[in-house]
């Protein structure tokens, strides 16, 4: 089994982090304004003193792997869960609770780069992998955020046909 891609799964989307940061900043700025501070000075004070102390942490809670094995693409999820649970566990950054990153194959999603014994085109292979990843992210990763942007930028530019011939030789 050869790993082709590893996509990180985060606790929450970056937009949610930005919203929480702006909400925390606005709350602190209002507190400082009620004490007589000017708004610009309060914003500058928050930006320099409190920006790293907000209670919002976005960290990796798992990975989505795209592997090539036995002439097909296979997809695995390794994601944090509590013991004996199928639910994603978004643990706090500092915790005493044990968490486990369980790894399993995503059921029913195996993509073959061959159709009727003939190798698909590079664009078809890229589209096939992208569709499978989107399906997994939408259906199997509930409540978390899979970072797909780097994959989407790279996917269309990879020469999968040359890659597959190299992997077969390996």
- Please state the rounded mean pLDDT for residues 64-79: 91
- pLDDT at res. 50: 65
- pLDDT at res. 66: 94
- Please state the rounded mean pLDDT for residues 59-66: 89
Q: Which long-range contacts does 66-69 make (Cβ < 8 Å, 24+ apart)?
A: 66/3, 66/4, 66/5, 66/6, 66/7, 66/129, 66/133, 67/1, 67/2, 67/3, 67/4, 68/1, 68/2, 68/4, 68/164, 68/167, 69/1, 69/2
Q: Where are the domains of the chain?
A: 2-11+61-169, 14-49
| pLDDT tens, position by position, 87-144 | 666 666 566 666 667 777 787 788 999 999 899 999 999 999 999 999 999 888 877 8
Top-ranked range on mean pLDDT: pick from 63-72, 77-86, 90-99, 136-145: 63-72
- The pTM of the full predicted model, rounded to 2 decimals, is 0.77
């Amino acid at each position: 089994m050869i790993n082709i891609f590893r996509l990180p799964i985060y606790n929450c989307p970056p937009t949610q982090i930005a919203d929480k940061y702006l909400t925390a900043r606005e709350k602190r700025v209002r507190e400082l304004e009620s004490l007589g501070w000017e708004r610009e000075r309060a914003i500058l004070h928050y930006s320099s003193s409190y920006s790293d102390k907000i209670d919002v942490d976005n960290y990796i809670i798992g990975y989505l792997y795209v592997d090539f094995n036995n002439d097909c693409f296979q997809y695995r999820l390794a994601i944090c869960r509590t013991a004996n649970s199928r639910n994603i566990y978004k643990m706090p950054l500092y915790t005493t609770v044990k968490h486990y990153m369980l790894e399993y194959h995503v059921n029913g999603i195996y993509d073959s780069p061959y159709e009727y014994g003939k190798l698909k085109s590079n664009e078809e292979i890229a589209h096939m992998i992208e569709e499978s990843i989107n399906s997994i992210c939408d259906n199997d990763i509930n409540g978390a955020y899979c970072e797909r942007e780097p994959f989407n930028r790279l996917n269309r530019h990879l020469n999968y046909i040359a890659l597959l011939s190299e992997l077969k030789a390996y």
